[in-house]
Amino acid sequence: MQAETLAGLMGLAGAVVGAGGALLGGWLQQQHQAKTAKEQRRDERRYTAGQAALEMLIRFRHASMRRTEDADSALAFSEALVEFVTTFDAALYVVSHGDEMRRRVLGIIGLAAAYMEPSRPNSEDKGWVDTCCKEAVGVLSAFLREEPLPEPSQYFLEQREIARARDRARSEPS
C-alpha cells in the first residue's frame, strides 16, 4: 500500500474513533447531568416538603398550647390536628426514603392525640403535646439534614409511660 493511502486510512480511522469518542463522551455527560438534575430536584422536593411539614407541626403545637375549654379553641385545635394528620403524610409522601420518618412522626402525633382529654384541656395535656411535638420536630429535622433518625428521648419514653398509665387508670373500673 502506498504511504499516502495508508496515511489517509489512518486519518479516516482516527476521525471515526474520535467522532465515536466524542459521541460517547457527550452521551455520558448528558446522563451525568440528567442524574445530577434528578438528585437536585429530589433534594429540593425533600426540603420544600419538609419545610411545609415542619410548619404544619409548629401550627399544631401552637394550637395545642392555645387550647382552652371554650368551644372555639377546641374547634381550632381539632382543625389543626386534622390538618396535620391528613396533610402531613401527603406532603412528605413525595420524598424518597421517608417511610420510616413518616411512620415515626405520625406515631408520635398519634400518641399526643390519644392521651389528651378532648373536652377539658389541662396543663398536663399541653405539656404532653409539647413533648410530642418536640420529639417529632427532632425526627423531622434529622431527616431533613439527612442524618440518621434519633432514638426516642428518655424524657419522651418516660412521659409516654406516664400517659399510658394515666390512660389505663381512666379506662379500668375502680
Instruction: Kindly report which listed range (15-24, 78-87, 132-141) carries the lowest average pLDDT score.
Output: 78-87
Q: Does the pLDDT value for residue 126 go beyond 80?
A: no
Q: What is the pLDDT of residue 138?
A: 92
Contact present, 118 and 80 (Cβ < 8 Å) = no
Q: Grid coordinates representing 14?
A: 482516527
Question: For residues 63 and 121, what is the distance between their CA atoms, to the nearest angstrom?
Answer: 12
- Residue owning grid cell 438534575: 37
Q: What is the pTM of this model?
A: 0.67
The tens digit of pLDDT for each residue in 16-73 reads 888 888 888 888 888 888 888 888 888 888 788 888 888 888 887 887 777 766 667 7
Measure the CA–CA gap between 143 and 146, rounded to whole angstroms: 5
Cβ contacts of 83 within 8 Å, gap of 6 or more: 56, 59, 60
Distances from the Cα of 126 to the Cα of 39, 64, 79, 91, angstroms: 40, 6, 16, 26
